[in-house]
Structure 1
Amino acid sequence: SGRRNWNAAKDLQRYRHHYPGLIQSENEEEEEMWNLSFYKNEISFLPQGLHIETLLESWWDNYEVLEENHSYIQWLFPLREHGMNLRAKPLTCQEIQAFKKSKEVMQRFIRAYQLMLRFYGIILVNEETGELKRAENWAERFQNLNRFSHNNLRITRILKCLGEMGYEHYQVHLVKFFLTETLVNETLPNVKRSALDYFLFTIRSKRKRRELVHYAWQHFKPRGSFAWGPHDKLLKYRPRSAKSQLHQKAEDKEETPGKKSDDSVEEDQKQSLEEEQKAGDAADLQPEVNDEGVKEKSSECASKGGDGEEEKEASFTQQEEEDLNSETEEVQGTAESDCTKESKKRKLDGNMADAKKTGPVKSPTDIENISRNLGECAI
């Protein structure tokens, strides 16, 4: 089906903008950091849980417990929103910064990620880049993933938490992995909708998200039913690899002597870069979501960490909201409104009336000049 889940779109948009309108506790710094204490191995998860070191060691291969226990996931991957476990505590901005500053805590976080990847039949190949591959027992684990749909909710939570903890590059690899398995290899049919509605839009980086939307569109069948990006922009969009080739061609021209003058080469490069910029601007693959909450001020958490690109996006939610509605803007183009045209026409008519009173009627050439001065308004 090519129908879009707009509730999911709004939920993920709110997450990407760092929960605009979320009320933070005035005494957040004085409050106990439950999630941090759990990751420091000081407390057990609730209810009736274990310390994290015990969990990571004893549950490594215990797939049955990982499947049937529904209390641990909110503690392993805390979010700034409430989940189904009422005993779990929402993540705070203060905790996010404390997590990132502790090497011990972040090492446990990576181990928790590896634990869940293993449960889903995936292996983290490179801790530096986040590269993934299938585990040897992938067929068995994929069967479990196809059978129990609540794992789709868990994966969405994991992706969101990766973003909060500064592992956006891990997010991209995990989303790409599931898009490949659902759309290309077709091994996870019951994960497909979640991958498109939820996983894909956890990526805060607009550039990376565009690349993944384009990748999904390329492999979606039938392509005409793809509902997660505007088709006209998807057709115009050029992936990063194509842009890199364009830059390389420009450099090759500059390094090849005797073929063109320096001015000519510089002009070609300028034109190529302008074309690339236009293609990038035209390929805004964001969904159009009229969510009033996005227009509210983002919470302060966005300004306390993360890379520059994401901070910029979070700080200018109104600008991105305009991007979301860019299709409408393109239809309007740069044409003047009917009111403006009518106003100019009235001015022109007034000038012609004054001319009749004060002197002879102006020639067609004079009228054309007046029209040109008024902004080339049609008469």
Structure 2
Amino acid sequence: SDRRNWNAAKDLQRYRRHYPDLTESEDKEEEEMWNLSFYKNEICFLPQGLHIENLLESWWDNYEVLEENHSYIQWLFPLREHGMNWRAKPLTCQEIQAFKKSKEVMQRFVRAYQLMLRFYGIVLLNEETGELKRAENWAERFQNLNRFSHNNLRITRILKCLGEMGYEHYQVHLVKFFLTETLVEETLPNVRRSALDYFLFTIRSKQKRRELVHYAWQHFRPQDSFVWGPHNKLLKYRPLSAESRLHQNTEDKQEAPGKKCDDSVEKDWNQSLEEEQKAGDAADLQPKLNDEDVKEKISESVLKGGDGEEEKEASFTQQEEEDLNGEAEEVQGITENDCTKESKKRKLDANMGDTKKSGPLKSPTDIENISRNLGECAI
């Protein structure tokens, strides 16, 4: 039977909570905005890259390069976390605000999204709504997606970046598209697991995430093996009406933490961290939880409404941490420690940096092996 990937759950939870453990320099003068400079067409991506205008024009239908080059994706869709390309720079809150203020930059961002959609066999029908459809060559492109699973990591990165840049509505359409293709049409069997473990939980809006979890549950077979939400809640769930959804959207905008990365948000993050620390310190005073208790507690938070849902979803006690890690090992095998992962990332970057000396870039097969060893970390 299917098991929930708890490492993925924790990774996406950290993203949805706007990386509460990250600290950034407050000195605006010192901060170099590498990602913004790239999107302004001032610098090339590294290593051995192009200016973004050149990339968007010359790689539009160059699927072979888009598949085999593994340095550009971290620059096109930067995140506030490190990936496998150590020449790429993590996104900062200041950069996010600067991106959103530049019409030229955001137009390029949408073009970059369209470039990758085309590579995956998808067309953006409406730039305002984010509505999608299959491209004419979808069968060929889906075959590539099924063959090279490292693209699942790229899609997770794209979804996270869409959320950072204020394109949550694009996120919802893309997740729904992949849920439909994997669970309803069954055209992307090798994407199904990532769609459920990763894509689905990049959605920060609680209501939209619940709707998508319910949609996934409706079409998942066998339904009693669905582990991404509590069955008793799913059976009772009813999608909101259009009027209620509008009201919920307003609440999401008002309540969602970290939207502007301002001082008040930092205060909220710190307060949440203190609460979680207290919960951890008090763990020894509480009855020990078994695996099933932990799974039920976290799963129920997916669809449970009301205030404080994210806090409940995030408050792992020390015992829960151990249980989650044990569960993740069953899913992914014995995970490597951070030093080993970092070493592999640096080796990959070194190989990329020496392409002129050692020949062409790593083949997709090589990258497949590396991504498997890294255990679905962000590329």
Both proteins in one fold, TM over 0.5? yes
State the distance in 2 between where 1:183 and 1:29 align.
49
Partners of 1:301 and 1:216 in 2: how far apart?
A: 28
Distance 1:129 1:316 in 2: 35
Aligned-partner Cα distance in 2 for 1:133–1:112: 17
Aligned to 1:127: 127
Q: In angstroms, what is the RMSD of aligned CA positions?
A: 2.6
The 1-side partners of 2:132 and 2:13 are apart by 26
Q: Which has the higher contact order (CA 8 A, sep 6+)?
A: 2
The within-5 A match list for 1:1-379 is 1-241=1-241, 302-304=259-261, 319-321=308-310, 323-324=312-313
Count of paired positions: 269
- Separation in 2, partners of 1:121, 1:27: 43
Q: Which moved more, 1:29-38 or 1:120-129?
A: 29-38
The aligned counterpart of 1:296 is none
TM-score of the aligned structures, taking structure 2 as reference length: 0.67
Is 2:17–2:258's contact at 8 Å kept on the other side of the alignment?
Answer: no
Q: State the 1:30 CA deviation.
A: 2.4
How many Å apart are 1:82 and its aligned residue? 0.2
Aligned equivalents of 1:243, 1:231: Cα separation in 2: 26
Off by >6 Å, runs of 4+ in structure 1: 242-245, 313-316
Given that 1:4 and 1:228 are in contact with CA atoms closer than 8 Å, whether structure 2 keeps it comes out as yes
Q: Any idea what the Cα deviations from partners look like across 1:270-306, whole Å, max 9, x if unmatched?
A: xxxxxxxxxxxxxxxxxxxxxxxxxxxxxx954448x
**Shift in Å at residue 136 of structure 1?**
0.2
Instruction: Quote the Cα distance in structure 1 between the aligned partners of 2:161 and 2:155.
Output: 10
The residue aligned with 2:293 is: none
- Identical-pair percentage: 85
How many Å separate the matches in 2 of 1:80 and 1:191?
24
Task: Write the distance in 2 (CA, Å) between the matches of 1:322 and 1:46.
Answer: 38
**Conserved in 1, the CA contact under 8 Å of 2:20 and 2:269?**
no
Q: Which amino acid aligns with 2:41?
A: N
Query: Who wins on radius of gyration, i.e. which is larger?
Result: 1
The whole-number CA distance in structure 1 between the counterparts of 2:47 and 2:311 is 44
Question: Do 1:172 and 1:208's aligned partners in 2 also have CA atoms closer than 8 Å?
Answer: yes
Contact 1:159 1:202 in 2 (8 A): yes
Q: Which amino acid aligns with 1:100?
A: K
Which deviates more, 19-28 or 133-142? 19-28
- Structure 2 counterpart of 1:67, one-letter code: E
Instruction: Tell me the secondary structure at the aligned position of residue 240 of structure 1.
Output: coil
Give the counterpart letter for 2:160 in structure 1: K
For residues 23 and 76 of structure 2, the distance between their equivalents in structure 1, rounded to whole angstroms, comes to: 23
SS in 1 for 2:196: helix
- What SS does structure 2 have at the residue aligned with 1:133? strand
Using the size of structure 1 for normalisation, the TM-score is: 0.67
1:32 positional shift: 1.2
**SS of residue in 1 equivalent to 2:4:** coil
Rounded to whole Å, the distance in 2 between the matches of 1:243 and 1:55 is 43
- Report the residue type matching 2:68 in the other structure: E
AA at the equivalent of 2:71? S
